[in-house]
A and B are shown apart, each in its own frame.
Chain A
Amino acid sequence: MPATRVKFYQTGSFAVGNRLLAPDQRAVQADATRTNAITSGHRACQGCGEALGARYVLDAAARATGGQLVVVNATGCLEVFSTPYPESSWRVAWLHSLFGNAPAVAAGVAAALRVRRRADIRVVGQGGDGGTVDIGFGCLSGMFERNDDVLFVCYDNQGYMNTGVQRSGATPPAARTATTQAVGPEPGNAFGQGKNAPLIAMAHEIPYVATATVADLRDLEAKVFRAMELRGARYLHVFVPCPLGWGSAAADTIRLARLAVQSGLFPVFEAEHGEVVAVSPIRQRVGVEEYLRPQRRYAHLFDPVERTDVIARIQAGADRNIARFGLLDGGSP
């Protein structure tokens, strides 16, 4: 691809490759010749975690595959804000079909590429949490079961954001959404058992499952590279804060992602064939409260009265993750 004049907006983080690093250690995002798979001009909200995550993921995938990449996108924010006809911000071959079928469509693309004897062209399917863990779940499981040669990426902002912030199967307990309002004796989303998509992916014993966030850019890129070294069904679950849906400041997106990790609420790990093989340890643990406070979707836990009982239950969830994944011992569970 020809060199593209990309604008570097990020400062104050490692996002724009540290010039003290050797070139090969710098992030893909630091490279002026990166694919820029999703280029500027799209209509995402200020501070959109998904736009950030998608750019990191796809530029890394394009780097890993020499640009031989096809992307299949589910319906959702990412698809809507990137393709307002007659404009498109995609610089890669890209297909959007429906909400619930991205994994199946991606499987079809992969099969066609094999038939065309172009298995060198790799397929990435992507969508939000709604399209992945709810409406697309059947197709996702089918893709896993067949071990289709697709990397499927879920950008998890924990709700149906594009349609007005409704609850999804990925919405965490106590969070306010349009369909789990902060009213009544138990405001916000119910405390259920959740739907842990990475663990479900692991239960399918596929070659690679990983979680990542937009707080650690290089970790995210590394996981994409790792995934692209492998063939078969691979799943990457990326935590992406949504300022609009979460009621957080646009400038807080990366910070909130980091807090989710440091509190233990979002474990970061890798698994292969159903076994955890690597865990990112928590360097500086924080209580969940520090993570919850900046988000107005949790405002009812602090105002008018602090709901220490609810916060304690959320903390218990974080504690469980820490124990389960060994997030503080730096080793495997």
Chain B
Amino acid sequence: MFQVRVHGRGGQGVVTTAELLSVAAFGSGRHAQAFPSFGSERTGAPVVAYCRIDTRPIRLREPVLEPDALIVQDSTLIHRVDVFGGLAPRGWVLLNTRLGWEQLAIDGVDRDRVILLPASQLATVHLGRPLPGAALLGGFAAVSDELVTLDSVLAAIKGRFRGGVAQGNAAAAAAAYALVRDARKESVHA
């Protein structure tokens, strides 16, 4: 089983990200489960959502306590909320930020396990609004396409949104996918 935890703030589409990840995983032929951790639904308040992916039916319903991957939609949470709590030894982090590694001043997680992705920026360019979820899903597919392919991410996006919003999100996801994939190729070759 692969467990993902998504962090962000209310209004950033954190729950949608987890849901679409589960839809994409289902579209890639897996069992998937997504659900929010429910705090008050206030715009700007920290929000957490979960997604489990497995080749077998998923019965477990507890929150994701030991994530294999983290998606952090808002980097301002890093020093305010225990975003990295329980991260598995080989777990990785997909972090929405324009900042560089030194500026982020992240403690307790190795550099090589954190993928920095300017998802809000990509969203602004392709969607016209800084909603980073779709881009982050594209990035996710680039990191672990054995779980979720880009095509399944795009299908999930198009199943949820319509018209210009669907196209914009899909473009952001594809751009993020390319960005992360290329960066990983570079780091492999480096």
Direct contact of A and B (CB under 8 A): no
Measured CB to CB, the residues of A under 8 A from B are none
> Which B residues lie at the A interface, using CB under 8 A?
none
